[in-house]
With several copies, the nearest count.
Chain A
Amino acid sequence: MKKASTHITQNEALIFERSQPGRRGYMLPPLDVDETPADELLPAELRRDDDLEGVPELSEVDVVRHFTRISTWNFHIDLGMYPLGSCTMKYNSRLNERVARMPGFANLHPLAPEADSQGALEVMYELQRHLSEITGLAGVSLQPAAGAHGELTGVMMIRAFLDKRDGGESARHLMLIPDSAHGTNPASAHLSGFTVKTIRSTPEGLTDLEHLRELCAGGDVAGLMLTNPNTCGIFERNITEICKIVHDAGGLVYMDGANMNALVGVARPGDMGVDVIHLNLHKTFSTPHGGGGPGSGPCCCTAELEPFLPTPLVTRSGDRFRLDFDRPSSIGRVKAFYGNFGMHLRALASILTHGREGLREATEAAVLNARMIAHGLSDIYDKPFDAPPMHEVLFTDKRQSRKGVHTLDIAKRLIDYGFHPMTIYFPLIVQGAMLIEPTESVGRHEIEQFVEAMREIARESVEDPELVLNAPHTTRIGRLDEATAARKPVLRWKPAEKTATA
Chain B
Amino acid sequence: MRYIPNSPEERQEMLSEVGLSQAVDLFDSIPADARLARPLDVPDALSEIELLARFESLAARNHAAGRPSFLGAGAYSHYSPTIVDALIQRSEFFTAYTPYQPEVSQGTLQAIFEFQTLVCQLTGMDVANASMYDGSTALAEAVLMAERVTRRRRVIVSAAVHPEYLEVARTYVAHAGVELLSAAFDEATGRTNLEDIEGLDETVAAVVVQSPNFFGCVEDVRAAAERAHAVGALLVVAVTESASLGMLRSPGACGADIVIAEGQSFGVPVSCGGPYVGLFATSEKYARQLPGRLVGVAHDKQGRRGFVLTLATREQHIRREKATSNICTNEGLIALAATIYMTTMGRRGLQEVAEQCAQKAHYAARQIAAVEGYELPYSAPFFNEFVVRAPVAADELLPRLADAHNITGGLALSRYFPGRPNDILVCVTEVNRRSEIDALVAGLRKVQSSKFKVQS
Contacts and interface: CB of A to CB of B under 8 A. Distances in A.
Direct A–B contact present (CB less than 8 angstroms) = yes
B121 interface: yes
A109 B247 contact: no
Nearest to B102: A480
A25 B168 contact: no
Interface string B343-365: 11111111111011011101100
B45 A27 contact: yes
B113 A493 contact: yes
The 9 closest A-B pairs by CB, nearest first: A104-B59, A290-B333, A337-B273, A193-B175, A355-B45, A292-B332, A22-B7, A110-B273, A112-B64
Interface stretch (B89-97, B148-156, B196-204, B442-450): B89-97
B176 A87 contact: no
Interface residues of A, number: 215
B321 A147 contact: no
B373 interface: no
A496 interface: no
Given A52-B347, A291-B333, A291-B336, A112 B296 contact: no
A358 B2 CA distance: 9
A46 interface: yes
B188 interface: no
Contacts of B194: none
Contacts of A433: none
A31 B99 CA distance: 42
Interface in B168-185: 168, 170-172, 174-177
A356 B45 contact: yes
Contacts of B49: 28-29
Contact of B91 (A76, A371, A420): A76
Interface stretch (A59-67, A208-216, A298-306, A398-406): A59-67
Centre residue among B54, B301, B321 by max chain A CB count within 10 A: B321
19 contacts: A23-B7, A61-B4, A74-B107, A98-B52, A145-B137, A146-B327, A239-B31, A271-B34, A291-B105, A291-B107, A335-B168, A338-B272, A351-B42, A368-B15, A368-B23, A444-B6, A480-B299, A480-B306, A492-B116
A362 B40 contact: no
B28 to A, nearest CB: 7
B92 A71 contact: yes
Given A358-B1, A501-B305, 16 more contacts: A15-B339, A25-B2, A31-B356, A55-B118, A55-B350, A59-B5, A84-B100, A110-B74, A111-B411, A116-B408, A191-B325, A266-B30, A337-B274, A362-B4, A415-B101, A477-B300
A120 B48 CA distance: 20
Given A108-B272, A336-B165, A489-B310, A475 B104 contact: yes
B332 A365 contact: no
Which of B272, B310, B334 has the most chain A CB atoms closer than 10 A to its own CB? Answer: B272
B174 A336 contact: no
Interface in A310-341: 310-311, 331-341
A18 to B, nearest CB: 9
B83 A55 contact: no
A221 interface: no
A343 B402 CA distance: 29
B10 interface: yes
A491 B287 contact: yes
Contacts of B328: 146-148, 182-184
B420 interface: no
A26 B313 CA distance: 40
Contacts of B121: 52-55
Contacts of B96: 74-77, 289-291
Interface stretch (B128-136, B226-234, B385-393): B128-136
Given A191-B175, A481-B300, A183 B105 contact: no
Contact of A71 (B18, B107, B245): B107
Nearest to B111: A70
